[in-house]
Structure 1
Amino acid sequence: MKKLTPFVISCLLVFGVAACDNASKTSESAPSNPNEAPQAPSANTTEASQKDAQSEVRRRQLNEDIRAREQRNNATGGDAKRAKADLESEVRSKLEANIPKGQLTVNAADDGVVTVAGTVTNQQELAKIEKLAKEIKGVNSVVVKATVSTVTN
């Protein structure tokens, strides 16, 4: 027992030193200097990410996520009084899925009033905003401050 105690203490100390080693990198792409600004993604990476975000698969995923949230909400009592963050998140997802090229922001108030601002690419998308937002349970009214973008890319 007298030989085992120093061995156990030594193992704990070695383990403690190894566990407390402050390795700040979490991946190979982490900067070697923590004060260094992150590098901007390349144009190809940005374009690929944008195409993925606007794909039909992504739209279906967002709609399924919204449907799952609504089912969970209904399972927990179906309370129509929702937290502002929940309303904002669900409306944002709904708009992102159905108006993929829009640059929209969503703000919700405690009384279920949702304000949507930003730009869309055409009048049809602008007309869809209110209808899509009202599909989310807990949205009482929608204030649309969005406009049709006149900038062409």
Structure 2
Amino acid sequence: MKKIATVLLSSVLLVGAVACQDVSKTSSDSPDSPQASPSAPTQDTVKDSQEDAQSQVRRDQLNSDIRANEQRNNAFNGSDQQRSDDQIETEVRSKLEANIPKSQLAVEAEKGVVTINGTVPDQQDIQKIDPLAMQIKGVKSVQNKATYAPPTNDNQQNNQGQNQNKQ
């Protein structure tokens, strides 16, 4: 009986640790934290991110996620602005992914203050981030650390890495 309890407890802790990611990301290549310095994405990475974010299935999923979070919040809090940091992160990430599909952004929220880091391939996209994030209930302010980084060719990035290794 003790072995079963130990296995169950270990399984729950393992699942909890894996599921407890502190940062919501708009793509798998986004920075792992808002403090990490972003690097310029490759053209293939930008294309993959855009195709994923612009597919009808993904857009439906993003809209469904936002709608479900809104309904859950309204059911438990009325239409109150008070939300958990995880809810805010999820909704801001979904909003950014749907509206800036080529981006690679990491989103972190703490007490309503949203920090966004990563790269966008178009200069105008940086200016879209703050208004989009502020549309989400519970967001008090936005710290936009996103940078403009045009996509590079895979060959350019490999050459840069080789040049740095030579120095």
1:47/1:92 CA distance change after superposition, 3 Å: closer
- Equivalent position of 1:22 in the other structure: none
1:1-153 superposed matches below 5 A? 50=49, 53-57=52-56, 58-76=58-76, 77-110=78-111, 112-153=112-153
Q: Which structure has the larger Rg over C-alpha atoms?
A: 1
Q: TM-score, normalised by structure 1?
A: 0.61
- Count residues in correspondence: 107
Please tell me whether the aligned partners of residues 60 and 97 of structure 1 are also in contact (alpha carbons under 8 angstroms): no
- Alignment identity in percent? 56
Equivalent position amino acid for 2:94 in 1:
S
Report the Cα distance in structure 2 between the residues aligned to 1:138 and 1:48, rounded to whole angstroms: 32
Please tell me whether the aligned partners of residues 81 and 137 of structure 2 are also in contact (alpha carbons under 8 angstroms): yes
Please tell me whether the aligned partners of residues 59 and 98 of structure 1 are also in contact (alpha carbons under 8 angstroms): no
Q: Which runs of 4+ in 1 moved over 4 A?
A: 46-52
Q: TM-score, normalised by structure 2?
A: 0.56
Report the alpha carbon displacement of residue 49 of structure 1 after superposing the two structures with TM.
6.8
**Greater percentage in helix:** 2
Higher relative contact order (CA 8 A, sep 6+): 2
Equivalent position amino acid for 2:79 in 1:
G
